[in-house]
Amino acid sequence: MPTNAPLNRKLRMGLIGGGQGSFIGRVHATAAVLDNRAALVAGALSSDAARAKASAADYDIAEERAYTSFKEMAAAEKKRPDPVDFVSVATPNHTHFEIAKTFAEAGFNVICDKPLTFDLAQAEELLKVVEKSGVVFAVTHNYTGYPLVRQAREMVLNGELGEINAVRSNYIQGWLRTRLESDNQKQAAWRTDPSKSGIAGCFGDIGTHAYNLGRYITGLQPKQISCLLKVFVEGRALDDYGVAAVRFENGALGTVTASQISHGRENDLFIEVDGTKAALEWHQEEPNKLIVRKNGEPHKIYTRNGGPYLGAAAGAASRLPSGHPEAFFEAFANVYTTAYDAMVKRAAGQSFETTNTVYPNVYDGVEGMLFITKCVESSKADGGWVPFRHPKSRA
Amino acid sequence: MPTNAPLNRKLRMGLIGGGQGSFIGRVHATAAVLDNRAALVAGALSSDAARAKASAADYDIAEERAYTSFKEMAAAEKKRPDPVDFVSVATPNHTHFEIAKTFAEAGFNVICDKPLTFDLAQAEELLKVVEKSGVVFAVTHNYTGYPLVRQAREMVLNGELGEINAVRSNYIQGWLRTRLESDNQKQAAWRTDPSKSGIAGCFGDIGTHAYNLGRYITGLQPKQISCLLKVFVEGRALDDYGVAAVRFENGALGTVTASQISHGRENDLFIEVDGTKAALEWHQEEPNKLIVRKNGEPHKIYTRNGGPYLGAAAGAASRLPSGHPEAFFEAFANVYTTAYDAMVKRAAGQSFETTNTVYPNVYDGVEGMLFITKCVESSKADGGWVPFRHPKSRA
Amino acid sequence: MPTNAPLNRKLRMGLIGGGQGSFIGRVHATAAVLDNRAALVAGALSSDAARAKASAADYDIAEERAYTSFKEMAAAEKKRPDPVDFVSVATPNHTHFEIAKTFAEAGFNVICDKPLTFDLAQAEELLKVVEKSGVVFAVTHNYTGYPLVRQAREMVLNGELGEINAVRSNYIQGWLRTRLESDNQKQAAWRTDPSKSGIAGCFGDIGTHAYNLGRYITGLQPKQISCLLKVFVEGRALDDYGVAAVRFENGALGTVTASQISHGRENDLFIEVDGTKAALEWHQEEPNKLIVRKNGEPHKIYTRNGGPYLGAAAGAASRLPSGHPEAFFEAFANVYTTAYDAMVKRAAGQSFETTNTVYPNVYDGVEGMLFITKCVESSKADGGWVPFRHPKSRA
Amino acid sequence: MPTNAPLNRKLRMGLIGGGQGSFIGRVHATAAVLDNRAALVAGALSSDAARAKASAADYDIAEERAYTSFKEMAAAEKKRPDPVDFVSVATPNHTHFEIAKTFAEAGFNVICDKPLTFDLAQAEELLKVVEKSGVVFAVTHNYTGYPLVRQAREMVLNGELGEINAVRSNYIQGWLRTRLESDNQKQAAWRTDPSKSGIAGCFGDIGTHAYNLGRYITGLQPKQISCLLKVFVEGRALDDYGVAAVRFENGALGTVTASQISHGRENDLFIEVDGTKAALEWHQEEPNKLIVRKNGEPHKIYTRNGGPYLGAAAGAASRLPSGHPEAFFEAFANVYTTAYDAMVKRAAGQSFETTNTVYPNVYDGVEGMLFITKCVESSKADGGWVPFRHPKSRA
């Protein structure tokens, strides 16, 4: 560590967004350097020039690389002998597209927050740019970074669960139970504003995570979707609750439930996967445990780094012995470090996987936008089935 | 105890079904006498005459009251000076109707296993009989008998949860993961046989329980339902998995998920209720705890008989101090004892509640049959919405 | 059921204590008949004659067998053609000895509440009587009746845990946190009164259960004990908190912790057993789960009736499929039913096990009194070690 | 953030130990910079010169500040215009003293791993050095850094628990169940070697953590201790299991249980605190929850950053919204950041708290050594009571 061989140096990171008052920018910056494989060296931290400059010191970004616009940054970094290797996009949804496109076109690797873009059209266009550019592009569906989520994925891939029949994904929160947005709470304000968040609220923000988690673990291809979106808090413009059913191509049935109006629930993303040979259960709020069940056997609790019964993925994503809990930051960092592996290969001119990557990628991002689009479409059609499958999505 | 005042004696019970090899008959017999308010004195324990006679001794039923047919029993008991006060119907689904009808018409109170009948038409006919007869009629949706389920109901009725927005009911089992019925496993055989179980498998057996639990706790009136039923085990005739969405009249959204193919899951009925003021969570496998949540407050765990913060219902349904766990039999018994209260009133010529009873009643039974019927109808229509509301269902 | 073959009839039960206002008498009466293998036919329900008579109806005891003194009862039953087969002693501690002795001497089997007697001398004398009489004698250390406790015992006996090194038994309650006894709360009053409870309070009432549970599961023989008893509530005469260390003969170390002053704790008896091959953990408040751990393997949760991985004992003590929780009453009933097996053998003139019985027996009762005595002795000696081993205790 | 105002710059960190193959050195380095308030700039990473040099690159330490001995480092840094502000000592126990003393005498702040020194005499001597020097000195009893542990401490200090009666601290592991040290497992080898670990094994390594946690939360002063240490794995030189009882000056009774031989247990540090007004329970393996109980009220689960019911300490130690779990690294970092606050004050010539600090300090370190010493003394005296109180320990 830094184990960026054969690059033999730390990766240079640029940050877009994350200026003073930001929450997720700080999470990116912390996670990106957790393993000392990257250093944050440049940024366009705010669209407000003064704030952009003022925020740079918080991140130890040298004044000359504290840009006041991402366009300026892309141009300037391009000319440097030591340009950034990648940029992290930690701005509100509606700005992702232009930023990510600019950097990808300029040949920079990109780590982009989710949802990928403001709408599906942007996502498809961005996908073309990324494919053409050949850059590494990760999307921070960060919950895929948990070691035991990767263990779950490995078990499905290995066939330990048999054929998958059912996937129940849930993401239950309560923080939007009241109309916080009318109190000018900043997070609530933009997330419930269609001009910033896009066509979906709860389902765009967290429904996509729940859906993505099931897809990441199982690799099942969707075929059709039926969705019901609800607004329970009066006066709100976007959904704050919803359920969806997904028919997968193998005949499996998935359900996605997302709520932001369940009193006292914090960040309760949980998933159950039923296979013909075994079943799994995992909860994000207790991420160091994975429950594995088989008829006629005791329920088994796998622990994060708990022993040789685990596959390679969980251990590779762990930093501490089992019993020493790891959590949100480490999972976020795992998305980064697996993307770093690809960046290093790219820098060394080696080939690298682009679709079925360990980290969530641009295809997952596009599929997320498709999911949002189809959910809204179905909900408007009273929950009618709509075809749902992206031709390039991961297996 | 027996606290059957003003009747001033124990109630006399008759049992239909429950012969040697039966499971649920023994549960009825145990639960019915747990509090010493009733005694089992007569029975038509089997349609096989020899087995009916042989089984009587197991229950201390005198030979003269060990009948070989329920019709004979109804007639004979009618003539006795000390006839049974009620009969418990613990036979397979397809026989409920004729038995229950016979006894109700003869003026006997009835405790009937669920689902109420083989099909909806029978249920509606039975309802008329019951209404005309004036007998007490309970249906063993036994999970409503758990003290903390009754506490949950009381909290909703009291307005402690505010307006209800969402109800998520789940009943997850794994025992039909393999095709047990082809191994002649008796329980599996009749439950997966349309000629005995009716039009639904998993949803008839346990989906109805999950739906009923949400209705019992919230009193919300349904308006429309959309349902998807699946058969995952090859060669099976009836559904072994399903999901339904229910639109309630107040705008709330309910979901019902039922599975019999989830490896290692035993009898995992659980429910979450979201109100504008608070939210609840309860799990049948840990029935002595109820989780109550409110934004900005600690999560609270109510315990069965845990203190003055509970309403009257939980304590009334408890026999032991908190920390001394109670479980399945006691909940089953609570359905009985609350029905006994009504039977005693009836015997004393007093009026008694028939619709919004503490015990699940014939209206709940009919609504369960309607639920099954509408689920199958919707599923055949690819999950399309179908109107769903019984004019007489409980509030 | 009743499966009292070769006796071919239900056992006849007599109850001493349990008059109106009693708690534990009702528990005995309920548990004893849960499986329909016994019927309560006689009683000396109260030392108050009027109350004795009045209470009889609650239990359906015929007036002629509703005695007003246990001595009268023993004499009268002795003369009957259909005398009781056993009596259950559910009176306060200080009266156990005389009652149990009377019935054992008269040849009646006895099920006695714990602690066995008021003091050790009584216990030793009673033991002699029991041995001489040849009656079946059980002591209701009821927690040994839980199916998964018996599973734990079976696993230790089978060597699945290897050599036992450590046993940590805990029994944590909170109900005596305040000085309830000064409010005339009946349970609190006699349990904190040395003239009724004997020399120990918390340790006599629940410390003995915790100790017994470890002994029952492991069969380890004690050698020495060190104990510290505390009175935390001002003005209380007996201990309300205590810890003990037990050195076992094989070199293992046991600890017993008991509290009645831990806010909000209800009846939290839990135990951990460490063996060289595996370790166990069990909690009375979640009795349907047993946690089994082995280095390098997932944690395993055994469920009550969960499958073929269990030994014979758990299934034999279960009445319902796994997932249908059983609890306190059923465990209590299991003590009874295993004692019934011995009573039936005795009645049939067959030999039966007396020391290492599945039910807790008179030797366990005597050892409990020895435990209390030695704990108090050690505590008075500032926690000094005192020899501790009964020559006849179970293996 | 670096929020190191009024210093207005990041703190400069030096690391002693942590060379390739080290575990805890990497933890220190990660935790120290997690909030970007410090940068690692110098190190004496190994006593092996080649390894020291080779390891420097892993931490981005410039070659000129990659020292091959801590003495050289202290001397060289002293002369620099930009010397390190503090050093972290992450070497085996037996080397702590000389290193910490050297740096403290030279005026550098020190963050030292625990146990503080090899023996008590060293600890007392080091204490004098620290007091004389006026440096900030923290000891990484890292579990005190968990937000909800600090919440617990705040609740006790605020009187929310009333008078404390009992503290039960437990630290249960299983990794030394077999004689790993004979397989040359590095961690096992030095931790079971008296020449490296000192006079205690399990109790020195983790018993001290458990004891410290109780002291940190309650502030109770000890008076006497009784301890039993056991070696269960044949051939091992130091204890691998033990229990201790602590009499506190206010009459409370504490118990400390530590095990390294409990199969499958990972890092199960947990504590229960009983006060006259309320009781607490916390588990390190589920650190984002604190259970608070009061008779007659529901059990309450406080979550890490869960709302206004929490005091100031928990929020100040949190980086993420509740429901986004934080874990081991963040707690470790919290020890650092609270020590940084003191370092900044010292650098600015301001006064700062030295005894009752939020971070564990040199007095806690000395008390830990005293605890080990007295435990071994008592255990050798067959568990006899020994006086136990350090004159300068925290309140």
Assembly ipTM:
0.96
Q: Name C64's Cβ contacts closer than 8 Å, sequence gap at least 6.
A: none
Closest C-alpha among B294, B296, B361, B366 to residue B140: B361
**With the CA atoms of A375, A376, A381 and A383 taken in that order, what torsion angle do they form, in degrees rounded to the nearest 10?**
40
Q: Name A57's Cβ contacts closer than 8 Å, sequence gap at least 6.
A: none
Answer whether D307 sits within 8 Å of B292, measured CB to CB: no
Neighboring chain C residues of D299 at a CB cutoff of 8 Å = 264
Answer whether A320 sits within 8 Å of D27, measured CB to CB: yes
By Cβ distance, the residue of A266, A323, A330 closest to D323 is: A266
Neighboring chain A residues of B382 at a CB cutoff of 8 Å = 385
Answer whether B298 sits within 8 Å of D309, measured CB to CB: yes
Answer whether A166 sits within 8 Å of B294, measured CB to CB: no
End-to-end CA distance of chain D: 32
Residue C222 near residue C388 (C-beta atoms within 8 A)? yes
User: pLDDT tens digits for B149-164?
Assistant: 999 999 999 999 999 9
Number of C-beta neighbours around residue A210 at 10 A: 27
Is the model's pLDDT at C22 over the cut of 90?
no
D115 upstream amide cis, omega within 30 of 0: yes
Mean pLDDT over residues B257-286, rounded?
Answer: 98
CA angle A54, A58, A64 (to 5 degrees): 60
Q: What proportion of chain C, given as a percentage, has pLDDT over 70?
A: 99
Give the per-residue pLDDT at D172: 98
* Burial class of residue A82 (count of CB atoms within 10 Å of its CB; 0-12, 13-18, 19+): exposed
Q: Which chains touch C (3 or more CB pairs under 8 A)?
A: A, B, D
The structure tokens listed for C194 are 């040395």
Closest C-alpha among B103, B172, B187, B95 to residue B138: B103
How far off is chain B from D306, nearest CA to CA, in Å?
7
Question: For residue B31, what is the nearest residue in chain C, using CA coordinates?
Answer: C34
User: pLDDT tens digits for B314-324?
Assistant: 999 999 999 99
Give the per-residue pLDDT at D1: 45
- pLDDT, mean over chain D: 95
CATH of C145-322+362-387, one of 3.30.360.10, 3.10.450.100, 3.50.50.60, 3.90.420.10: 3.30.360.10
Measured between alpha carbons, how far is residue D283 from residues C267, C295, D291 in Å? 20, 20, 9
Is the model's pLDDT at A2 over the cut of 70?
no
Residue A242 near residue A130 (C-beta atoms within 8 A)? no
Contacting A with CB below 8 Å, chain D residues are 1-2, 10, 26-27, 29-30, 33-34, 36, 39, 58-60, 173, 175, 265-268, 284-288, 303, 306, 319-330
Question: For residue C306, what is the nearest residue in chain A, using CA coordinates?
Answer: A296
Answer whether B307 sits within 8 Å of D297, measured CB to CB: yes
Q: Name B364's Cβ contacts closer than 8 Å, sequence gap at least 6.
A: B139, B141, B212, B215, B216, B393, B394
Give the per-residue pLDDT at D29: 96
Answer whether B327 sits within 8 Å of C327, measured CB to CB: yes
Selected residue of B281, B293, B297 to mutate for chain D interface (largest D Cβ count, 10 A): B297
Mean pLDDT over residues D138-142, rounded?
Answer: 98
Give the per-residue pLDDT at B2: 52
Neighboring chain D residues of B292 at a CB cutoff of 8 Å = 298
The amino acid at C65 = R
User: pLDDT tens digits for D186-203?
Assistant: 778 888 888 888 999 999
Answer whether B300 sits within 8 Å of D298, measured CB to CB: yes
Measured between alpha carbons, how far is residue B38 from residues B13, B107, C392, D119, D274 in Å? 6, 18, 44, 73, 45
Report domain extents, chain D: 11-143, 146-321+361-387
Residue C108 near residue C77 (C-beta atoms within 8 A)? yes
CATH class of D146-321+361-387: alpha beta
Return the minimum-mean-pLDDT range out of A96-100, C188-192, C385-389, D222-226.
C188-192
Give the per-residue pLDDT at B23: 86
How far off is chain C from D217, nearest CA to CA, in Å?
17
Answer whether D293 sits within 8 Å of C241, measured CB to CB: no
- pLDDT, mean over chain B: 95
Is the model's pLDDT at B3 over the cut of 80?
no
Bridge partners of residue D289, in order along the sequence? D303
Answer whether A60 sits within 8 Å of D326, measured CB to CB: no
The structure tokens listed for B122 are 């029978």
User: pLDDT tens digits for C129-165?
Assistant: 999 999 999 999 999 999 999 999 999 999 999 999 9
User: What is the C-alpha separation between D69 and C187, in angstroms, rounded?
Assistant: 69
User: pLDDT tens digits for B215-239?
Assistant: 999 999 999 999 999 999 999 999 9
The structure tokens listed for C352 are 């039966």
Give the per-residue pLDDT at B6: 79
Selected residue of A183, A227, A231, A295 to mutate for chain B interface (largest B Cβ count, 10 A): A295
The amino acid at D38 = A
User: pLDDT tens digits for C286-301?
Assistant: 999 999 999 999 999 9
User: pLDDT tens digits for D97-107?
Assistant: 999 999 999 99
To the question of domain D11-143 being in CATH 3.40.50.720, the answer is: yes
Answer whether D265 sits within 8 Å of C277, measured CB to CB: no
D298 upstream amide cis, omega within 30 of 0: no
Closest C-alpha among C122, C87, D97, B163 to residue A234: B163
Residue D263 near residue C274 (C-beta atoms within 8 A)? yes
Neighboring chain C residues of A302 at a CB cutoff of 8 Å = 298
Number of C-beta neighbours around residue D384 at 10 A: 18
User: pLDDT tens digits for A147-205?
Assistant: 999 999 999 999 999 999 999 999 999 999 998 888 778 778 888 888 888 999 999 99
User: Between chain C and chain D, how many beta carbons pairs sit less than 8 Å apart?
Assistant: 113
Residue B295 near residue A178 (C-beta atoms within 8 A)? yes
Closest C-alpha among B263, B257, B197, B249 to residue B228: B257
Give the per-residue pLDDT at A3: 65
Bridge partners of residue A291, in order along the sequence? A281, A301
The structure tokens listed for B52 are 């009916």
Answer whether A298 sits within 8 Å of C297, measured CB to CB: no
Give the per-residue pLDDT at B1: 46
Selected residue of D274, D277, D301 to mutate for chain C interface (largest C Cβ count, 10 A): D274
Write down the pTM of the prediction. 0.97
Closest C-alpha among D301, D342, D339, D338 to residue D323: D301
Contacting D with CB below 8 Å, chain B residues are 292, 295-303, 306-309
The amino acid at D212 = N
- Three-class SS state of C309: coil
CATH class of A145-323+360-387: alpha beta
Give the per-residue pLDDT at C1: 46
Give the per-residue pLDDT at C58: 87
User: pLDDT tens digits for C222-236?
Assistant: 999 999 999 999 999
CATH of B145-318+361-387, one of 1.10.1200.10, 3.40.640.10, 3.40.50.12160, 3.30.360.10: 3.30.360.10
Question: For residue D306, what is the nearest residue in chain B, using CA coordinates?
Answer: B296
User: pLDDT tens digits for C46-65?
Assistant: 989 999 999 998 899 999 99
User: What is the C-alpha separation between B381 and B378, in angstroms, rounded?
Assistant: 5
Contacting A with CB below 8 Å, chain B residues are 165-166, 168, 172, 174-175, 177-178, 226, 228, 230, 232, 241, 243, 245, 253, 255, 257, 259, 261-265, 272, 274-279, 293-295, 297, 299, 382-385
- N residues, chain A: 395
- pLDDT, mean over chain C: 95
The structure tokens listed for C66 are 């509703």
- Three-class SS state of D56: helix
Is the model's pLDDT at B350 over the cut of 70?
yes
User: What is the C-alpha separation between C212 and A221, in angstroms, rounded?
Assistant: 57
Mean pLDDT over residues D136-163, rounded?
Answer: 98
Q: Which residue has the tokens 């996509």?
A: A208
Answer whether A326 sits within 8 Å of D324, measured CB to CB: no
Return the minimum-mean-pLDDT range out of A76-90, A291-305, B47-61.
B47-61
Mean pLDDT over residues C26-55, rounded?
Answer: 94
Answer whether A292 sits within 8 Å of C298, measured CB to CB: yes
Neighboring chain A residues of D58 at a CB cutoff of 8 Å = 1-2, 36
Q: What proportion of chain A, given as a percentage, has pLDDT over 70?
A: 99
Is the model's pLDDT at D272 over the cut of 60?
yes
Q: Which residue has the tokens 């696993």?
A: C155
Answer whether B330 sits within 8 Å of C327, measured CB to CB: yes
Is the model's pLDDT at D2 over the cut of 70?
no
User: What is the C-alpha separation between C242 and D255, in angstroms, rounded?
Assistant: 11
The structure tokens listed for A342 are 């690809």
The structure tokens listed for A321 are 């012995």
Instruction: Name, of B8-22, B44-58, B219-233, the range with top average pLDDT.
Output: B219-233
Return the minimum-mean-pLDDT range out of B71-85, B273-287, D13-27.
D13-27
Give the per-residue pLDDT at D3: 62
Is the model's pLDDT at A105 over the cut of 90?
yes
Answer whether C266 sits within 8 Å of B303, measured CB to CB: yes
Is the model's pLDDT at D176 over the cut of 50?
yes
- pLDDT, mean over chain A: 95
